[in-house]
Amino acid sequence: MKESLKFDFCDMTIYDNYLVVVVKEGVNLTPEHNNVLIQITETYFSNKPFVYITHRINSYSVDPKIYHETAKIENLKGLAVVSSDYKAKINAQIEQMFFSKPFEIFSELEEAFEWVKTLI
């Protein structure tokens, strides 16, 4: 399965065991945006384990409260941040502290895809 979804704040590609999200430039991700993620997971991953991969191509900010709510998604097995940007990786290291499930940072999407296999 592979399906692409477009929203005003991000683009998502849904795969069998994971989704890849590209947030648009300048967005401030808030808990309200997270509600979209929850709806997507209920639709595409109902009672099925999956991993959330954010491909940080653009610069944007994240309200850390998102991670507390995201961690409550029972079938979410982990979160991966993919970026080649040093600042994005530093931000992700800080964000890691707010998330209670596996959270890894990668430079390439392929590395994140391989990590998914270890979680599911």
**pLDDT tens digit sequence for 50-67:** 999 999 999 999 998 899
**DSSP class of residue 97?**
T
Strand partners, 111: none
Are 51 and 85 contacting, i.e. CB atoms less than 8 angstroms apart? Answer: no
pLDDT in tens, 87-120: 999 999 999 999 999 999 999 999 999 999 999 9
Instruction: Give the SS3 label for residue 74.
Output: coil
Measured between alpha carbons, how far is 30 from 64 in angstroms, rounded to an integer? Answer: 8
pTM, whole model, 2 decimals? 0.94
What mean pLDDT is reported for the chain? 94
Are 72 and 39 contacting, i.e. CB atoms less than 8 angstroms apart? Answer: no
Question: Which CATH number does the domain 3-119 belong to among 3.20.20.450, 3.40.1010.20, 3.30.750.24, 3.40.50.12710?
Answer: 3.30.750.24
Determine how many CB atoms are found less than 10 A away from the CB of residue 49.
Answer: 15
